[in-house]
A and B are shown apart, each in its own frame.
Chain A
Amino acid sequence: MKIVDRFTLWFLGVTLLIIPINSVITYQSIKGQIDKAAITRLKHVNERAAQQLARGEAVGEFMQGCRIKAAPSDSTMPADFFLITDRDVKHDPDMEDYDRKITVASWHMINGVSYKIISGDYVTRSEQILAGLRESIMWKLVILIGLIVLTARLASRLVLAPFYSTLKKLQRFNLRSRTKLKFKRSRTKEFNELNCFVEKMTDKAVDDYIHLKEFSENASHELQTPLAIIRSKLELMSEYNIEGEQAVLISDMQNAVDRLMRINRSLVLLSRLENNEFECEELLDISRYARETVNTFCDLITIKGLTMDYRIEERVEVKLHTALVDILLNNLIGNAIRHNYAGGHISIELNSRHLMISNTGPEPQAPPEEMFLRFRKGTACQSSVGIGLSIVKQICDMNGFTIEYRFQAGHHIITIDFPSTFTSSKLLQNDTRYLHEKTQL
């Protein structure tokens, strides 16, 4: 729902709430005023009747258009006491004319005789007032709604314009283009604050992105060089005639250096993945790579005494960068071999919907949802870095694949579901058009 629609709805709600209250108040005050006027008039009539009686003239049945009755009374009341009654009378049942009548009774001492004078008149009934009110309410509502809707549109066009332009710019913002956002000053304080904040935030994001990129590039170089030195020196050292114990020490050092090197390389790769450096627009025939990888690992599988079966469909095309497909397959199949026991089994299935790798192996100690976290590894394999699966996960997330791990009947099963390329691209197209339409107004 658009912001302007929300405001309109709120206004309409408030209007619809106020109008009935308003009409009750109007009704009460109109009725009160009518009654008051009638009562004042009737009191006045009574006074005149009393004066007439005092002059010794008789009082007729009607005076000034009101029915009047004057009779001597036993009771005496103070001179300024008026008894006011208000009742609906059935004047003429045939005509169904239900009328409301107000009567005013007063007591007067005229020439030593106490008189009771009653006068009455018919006044406007509440239904009649309401009928008048109803019409005015209808008109009021129509005009109000029309004006609210119209002014809301106009106001949002004028007042919210900077907001929509900010939104549009944000939607088109891309970190990798490294262009910072610039906003026009607006006359609204809040929008200026928003723009200022967004500008600061995106500037920071761009700066951070550039720094991170620089860091990951430098980290590779700065760490690899000393590692290369250590490794080369160790290799030179191992050329000398060394004793058994020294050999073990050198070997341990070599292993540690190797491990450091792998961690460094994996982390640099991960940060580059997170920077979305491997974006790709082209389809890649993953079947070919899968077959190659399976072939590469073939003798390794034989050496470890594993059996393998694979069903790789021809020409499975997915959106994936060439540099990543090897990493993905190597990590997954490598894992399947590593976390396996002698005589175990691996099965690989690739078709246009998914890639599934399942292998036998000991039950995992950690809960499955922690599988893709960094440096999380099974206790069985001390020498692994524990970062391979998080790289795989990152690659999947980036390319819109869903990856799932489960342990079932002694098998580790990793499934990667590919988005169906046709529908997803269409959906995306629709989505962007929808977004832009929304901001167009």
Chain B
Amino acid sequence: MKVLLIEDNVELASSISAFLAREGYICEVSYNMRDALDKLISFQYDCVLLDIMLPDGNGLEILRFMRKDQVHSPVLILSAKNSLDDKIIGLEEGADDYLTKPFHMPELNARLRAIYRRKKLNGSNIIAFNEITLNIDTFEAWVNGTMLDMTRKEFDLLMYFMVNKNRVLSRQSIAAHLWGDYTDNLSNFDFVYQHVKNIRKKISAANGTDYIGTVYGLGYKFNTSRQ
């Protein structure tokens, strides 16, 4: 999957591209609008990560250019502007998703995957790994052919793990993913622990392998090497 990252901050751009490279994406970076437009005209991308505030212009202009010139790559806006109006403008201009800075990397990955599924795989709604299968349309989780009785939050969390396989997911990033922007003022992340515990219990009960491991001090990891 080929991604174009348009971000003027070199540090942040290097972090994101390093992260995405590990995930197996091919990531190209543009630090300004001119360069980004050149790349968009010349190449095809599976997804464009777009920062709105750029040194030589507004990211929304790139969006307009893409919509006018029939560049069909999906666009995920990354912006420090987090007001409702900004989000509405961004999405109405034709972006597919809007993520406010600072975001968690696994969150970016999950959103990227979701966009990719929607746009490129014509809404393929199955995520599978070994014996675990998730149907993201019906919110059903299957292990060895048995359907798990899961709450919506548990389903979302399991999906988050499976999209971010072999990554350390911090409790904060899980909380932000499950609860959104304004619930992060909740002081402790006990409920993350509870949800993870429930998922592991339910998978084990269906004779599945417990891929989810605790990373000491940091959070959790969906470990594909476990047997």
Contacts and interface: CB of A to CB of B under 8 A. Distances in A.
Interface stretch (A26-34, A282-290, A321-329, A429-437): A321-329
Contact of A244 (B102, B194, B217): B217
Contacts of A381: 187
Contacts of B105: 232, 235-236
Contact of A326 (B168, B182, B194): B182
A220 interface: yes
Interface string A223-239: 01101111111011011
A228 B103 CA distance: 7
A425 B173 CA distance: 45
B61 to A, nearest CB: 18
A338 B187 contact: yes
Contacts of A300: 186, 191
Given A221-B80, A247-B217, A330-B183, A232 B12 contact: yes
Interface in B36-75: 53
Interface in B163-189: 167-168, 170, 172-173, 179, 182-188
A239 B168 contact: yes
A398 to B, nearest CB: 16
Contacts of B103: 228
A303 interface: yes
A384 B15 contact: no
A304 B186 CA distance: 12
Interface string A324-358: 00110011001001100000000000000000000
Contacts of B104: 231, 235
Interface stretch (B81-89, B90-98, B132-140, B203-211): B81-89
Given A235-B104, A251-B217, A299-B151, A327 B182 contact: yes
B190 A384 contact: no
Please tell me the size bucket of the interface on A: 35 or more
A238 B170 CA distance: 9
Contacts of A272: 83
A328 to B, nearest CB: 10
A229 B9 contact: yes
17 contacts: A220-B82, A224-B80, A232-B12, A235-B15, A236-B15, A238-B170, A239-B167, A239-B168, A250-B217, A255-B172, A257-B102, A262-B185, A303-B191, A323-B84, A330-B182, A334-B185, A385-B185
Interface of A: 217, 220-221, 224-225, 227-233, 235-236, 238-239, 244, 247-248, 250-251, 254-255, 257-258, 261-262, 265, 272, 296, 299-300, 303-304, 322-323, 326-327, 330-331, 334, 337-338, 381-385, 388
Given A236-B18, A238-B215, 4 more contacts: A224-B102, A229-B12, A235-B105, A235-B173
